[in-house]
Amino acid sequence: MRLAVPVPLRRLFDYLPPEGLSADDLRPGQRFWVPFGNRSLVAVLVELVQESPLAELKPALERIDRLPIFDDRSRQFLQWAADYYQAPLGELYAAALPVALRKGKPADHWAEQWLELTTEGKGLPETALARAPKQQTLLQLLLNKGRQSRTALNAQGLNAPVCKALIERNLARWVAGPTAPPPLEQVAPRPAPELNDEQRQVIAAVEFGKFNASLVEGTTGSGKTEIYLQLMERALQQGNQALLLVPEIGLTPQTLRRIAARFPDFRIAALHSGLADGERARAWLSAASGVADIVIGTRSAIFTPLPRLGVILVDEEHDGSFKQQDGVRYSARDLSLVLARSANVPVLLGSATPSLESLHNALSGRYQHLRLRHRAGNARPPQISLVPTLHQQLQEGFAPQVLRHIGDTLQRGEQALVFINRRGYAPAITCEDCGWLADCPHCSSKLTLHRRQRHLRCHHCDYRQREVHACPQCHSRNLNALGAGTERSEDFLTHTFNQFPVIRVDRDTTGSKQALDRLLEPARNGEPCLLLGTQMLAKGHHLPKVTLVVIQDADGGLFSADFRAPERMGQLLEQVAGRAGRGDLPGHVLVQSRYPEHPMLQLLLNKGYGAFARQLLEERQITQLPPVRAMALVRAECEEPRWAEEFLTNARLYLEALAPPSPELQYLGPVPALLERKSGRFRFYIQITAEKRGLLQKLLANFCHWAESNKNRRLRWAVDMDAQELS
């Protein structure tokens, strides 16, 4: 038998079946323990073969699953992804599995007891058992919706004694069955609103039962989530599963509540990093066995086998978290199209600020291009004004009129939101006497002062050291914290608006999804308050009382060396601005900038992200960069910079010998990454752009083969197909 073993080698490995098992016991998609070197690893059977080119095969140690946990379609899909991203298949299987299953825990561990009616039970009328109300509720449930898992019954307060009563009357019995998803918080059901015309047109354009791809470009608050819910419902009515992919910080308790409130009768599995290993395995298995009807998850949920898949929805498709930046560097957004095609189902990508990739596909007709131009309900688009900051007397980074606006908003009993793209107190510490700067000893970056925790921290490698009060170079005590992060602004704003609560939202104040939910509680209740935070505030939250949004510094993306920086800046500004005026009250956005005349900023703020993005797309046409061309990076990093550079220089020679540079194929590099040194390693890359993906694929496959024979163990290399970051 041929298995995918989780090792960084792009090949499969042959083993004999474990002792005592015959060919009849073996099925692709089962997991096995196999000996590998002097370790035991969890591998997945991909193919049964009669003969192996190897003379002496070892037997696998043990079969873990009796029933395969990967079905045919999902195995083909993983194979496709491995080929496309030049990733070892074994590592892809590992990425697809939740940790507990990756470690070899048997799926049976989460097998569930299900309560089903006996023939006698099925024959009863719904009104039977009227004298025992709980038993009657249970009977009705089983009559109307079929068998129920013990987990689901417990969550509804139908516990063991009630079940036992029915069993003793010989009306029901427990049977062993597949895993059920962990129960969600109980919420009151909420029916769907009446759709507006634009929403109806979008829904009508999506065809079920066949592959079709759509991009819905809908302004913030235009009712995209409502569209996802309605499309899910269509799939569920046909007896199929719905997959909703959300960004890492998009899977909030608020989103889950909204979905649970709409679909009280369906089984929902949420897959995200906040779950304990066991819970995540249960959610995954319930999806893979077809028990869960709705699967909501972040990036890796795309790899969950879904035997009844009926529709795929990708929320905030432009979000960077859909692309994995290490290990197997896949894009869940891009893979959603591949999966939809192979499952013959519709896929819909949605965003107020579509990626240039998706916009390009929509404008060129590869996707249906659907638009929502108006906000749903009564909400109106916010009014946006630029506030020049260059020759202004600023107070801790805020212009006086901005502070006045914040004060007025709070006085009116409304909420204001201040967006600051930096965590911590200050992004750099310097000595005023000798010019010393606090650098990370392991990265080419500055240390950020976190005053609450009294330490300096590197945001790239998480190195920490105690806060310093004297210059380590000249011993002067004249140290200065440069610039402002969220902590510093929090201090200032709390002091300035001391009658109102100031809520800081960033990764330091929100350890868990629940923490964020709790933190936002006063804001949801509608009390006047001042929200202040990083991009965590830009996404997903629907806070109707926010009428003022302040963007403290809009200039971040204007002068970056990364060609995607303006696109990201535009997305972020539009998303943050979109938090204003989502309810009945009108919204206002104030954007502080040192370069208010900058044409890109002008375009973005006057014409909106749509026009801005189309302009960027034209520039990419001229520069021949993605999405107009396919691009991949070949990366290498090493403590010894010369080795990484030399490796890539040789790599380029090798690649150019296979396919010389031409107008259709261009090489750049090796060049240092934008963050040249990280965690003690120097990082370089070669950038390859090609007119045709096929050519790039072939080249990269050859390169991997060549690079796998590289014997320098201290050098790490990787292929990054459709790379998103040059950092």
**Residues forming the site for Zn ion (CB under 5 A):** 431, 433-434, 436, 440, 442-443, 458, 460-461, 463, 471, 473-474, 476
| Strand order across the 294-297 sheet | 268-271, 294-297, 241-245, 309-315, 346-351, 212-218, 368-372
46 neighbors 2 (Cβ within 8 angstroms): yes
Phi-psi region of 173 (alpha: psi -120 to 50; beta: other; left: phi over 0): beta
State which residue, 568 or 579, has the beta carbon closest to ligand ADP: 579
Using CB under 6 A, which of the segments 189-197, 392-400, 671-679, 693-701 binds ligand ADP? 189-197
State which residue, 41 or 516, has the beta carbon closest to ligand ADP: 516
Name which of ligand ADP, Zn ion, none residue 193 binds, using a CB cut-off of 5 to 8 Å depending on partner kind.
ligand ADP
Name which of ligand ADP, Zn ion, none residue 458 binds, using a CB cut-off of 5 to 8 Å depending on partner kind.
Zn ion
SS (H, E, C) 446-473: ECEEECCCCEEECCCCCCEEECCCCCCC
- Residue 193 touching ligand ADP (CB under 6 A): yes
Name which of Zn ion, ligand ADP, none residue 223 binds, using a CB cut-off of 5 to 8 Å depending on partner kind.
ligand ADP
Whose tokens are 């206002």? That residue is 588
Q: How far apart are the first and last CA of the chain?
A: 41
DSSP, collapsed to helix, strand or coil, labels residue 99 as helix
- Residue 351 touching ligand ADP (CB under 6 A): no
- Residue 394 touching ligand ADP (CB under 6 A): no
Name which of Zn ion, ligand ADP, none residue 214 binds, using a CB cut-off of 5 to 8 Å depending on partner kind.
none
What minimum distance in Å lies between the beta carbon of 428 and Zn ion? 14
Using CB under 6 A, which of the segments 72-80, 190-198, 433-441, 551-559 binds ligand ADP? 190-198
- Residue 526 touching ligand ADP (CB under 6 A): no
Report the C-alpha gap between 139 and 119 in whole angstroms. 13
Using CB under 6 A, which of the segments 219-227, 394-402, 408-416, 508-516 binds ligand ADP? 219-227
Report the C-alpha gap between 526 and 545 in whole angstroms. 6
Interaction residues for ligand ADP, span 90-129 (CB under 6 A) = none
- Residue 446 touching ligand ADP (CB under 6 A): no
Name the β-bridge partners of 35. 40
Report the C-alpha gap between 494 and 396 in whole angstroms. 12
- x/- map, 630-659, ligand ADP, by CB under 6 A: ------------------------------
Six-digit token string for 54:
């190897």
Using CB under 6 A, which of the segments 99-107, 188-196, 289-297, 452-460 binds ligand ADP? 188-196
Cis omega (within 30 of 0) for bond into 627: yes
Among 135, 212, 225, 336, binds ligand ADP (CB under 6 A): 225
Among 98, 218, 250, 297, binds ligand ADP (CB under 6 A): 218
- Contacts of residue 331, Cβ cutoff 8 Å, sequence gap at least 6: 322, 323, 324, 722, 724
The alpha helices in 191-301, defined as continuous H runs, are 197-205, 224-237, 253-262, 277-288
Element housing 268 (H / E): strand 268-271
Among 65, 112, 226, 490, binds ligand ADP (CB under 6 A): 226
What minimum distance in Å lies between the beta carbon of 714 and ligand ADP? 47
- Nearest residue to 722 (alpha-carbon basis) of 357, 365, 350, 363: 357
Indicate the residue type of 640. E
> Do strands 241-245 and 309-315 pair parallel, antiparallel, or not at all (unpaired)?
parallel
Dihedral pair phi/psi, residue 400, rounded to 5°: -55, -40
Using CB under 6 A, which of the segments 81-89, 108-116, 218-226, 557-565 binds ligand ADP? 218-226
- Residue 222 touching ligand ADP (CB under 6 A): yes
State which residue, 226 or 293, has the beta carbon closest to ligand ADP: 226
State which residue, 455 or 542, has the beta carbon closest to ligand ADP: 542
What minimum distance in Å lies between the beta carbon of 462 and Zn ion? 7
Report the C-alpha gap between 454 and 424 in whole angstroms. 10
What minimum distance in Å lies between the beta carbon of 229 and ligand ADP? 8
Report the C-alpha gap between 377 and 231 in whole angstroms. 19
How distant, in Å, are the alpha carbons of 155, 417, 523, 573 from that of 276? 18, 32, 28, 34
State which residue, 455 or 460, has the beta carbon closest to Zn ion: 460
- Contacts of residue 276, Cβ cutoff 8 Å, sequence gap at least 6: none
State which residue, 223 or 253, has the beta carbon closest to ligand ADP: 223
- Residue 261 touching ligand ADP (CB under 6 A): no
Among 199, 241, 321, 489, binds ligand ADP (CB under 6 A): 199
Alpha carbon 38 to its chain centroid, in Å, reads 36
Name which of Zn ion, ligand ADP, none residue 218 binds, using a CB cut-off of 5 to 8 Å depending on partner kind.
ligand ADP
Name which of ligand ADP, Zn ion, none residue 434 binds, using a CB cut-off of 5 to 8 Å depending on partner kind.
Zn ion
Name which of Zn ion, ligand ADP, none residue 540 binds, using a CB cut-off of 5 to 8 Å depending on partner kind.
none
State which residue, 24 or 194, has the beta carbon closest to ligand ADP: 194
Name which of ligand ADP, Zn ion, none residue 213 binds, using a CB cut-off of 5 to 8 Å depending on partner kind.
none
Six-digit token string for 588:
């206002």
Using CB under 6 A, which of the segments 223-231, 362-370, 401-409, 436-444 binds ligand ADP? 223-231
Interaction residues for ligand ADP, span 537-596 (CB under 6 A) = 542
Using CB under 6 A, which of the segments 191-199, 428-436, 481-489, 661-669 binds ligand ADP? 191-199
Element housing 314 (H / E): strand 309-315
Indicate the residue type of 292. A
Name which of Zn ion, ligand ADP, none residue 471 binds, using a CB cut-off of 5 to 8 Å depending on partner kind.
Zn ion
State which residue, 112 or 217, has the beta carbon closest to ligand ADP: 217
Among 18, 278, 377, 407, binds ligand ADP (CB under 6 A): 377
Name which of ligand ADP, Zn ion, none residue 368 binds, using a CB cut-off of 5 to 8 Å depending on partner kind.
none
| C-beta contacts of 470-473 below 8 A and 24+ residues apart | 471/431, 471/433, 471/434, 471/436, 472/436, 473/431, 473/434, 473/436
- Contacts of residue 48, Cβ cutoff 8 Å, sequence gap at least 6: 1, 2, 23, 26, 28
Among 68, 121, 221, 424, binds ligand ADP (CB under 6 A): 221
Among 31, 75, 224, 360, binds ligand ADP (CB under 6 A): 224
- Contacts of residue 610, Cβ cutoff 8 Å, sequence gap at least 6: 217
DSSP 57: P
Using CB under 6 A, which of the segments 35-43, 106-114, 214-222, 630-638 binds ligand ADP? 214-222
- Residue 220 touching ligand ADP (CB under 6 A): yes
Binding site for ligand ADP (CB under 6 A): 193-196, 199, 218, 220-226, 376-377, 542
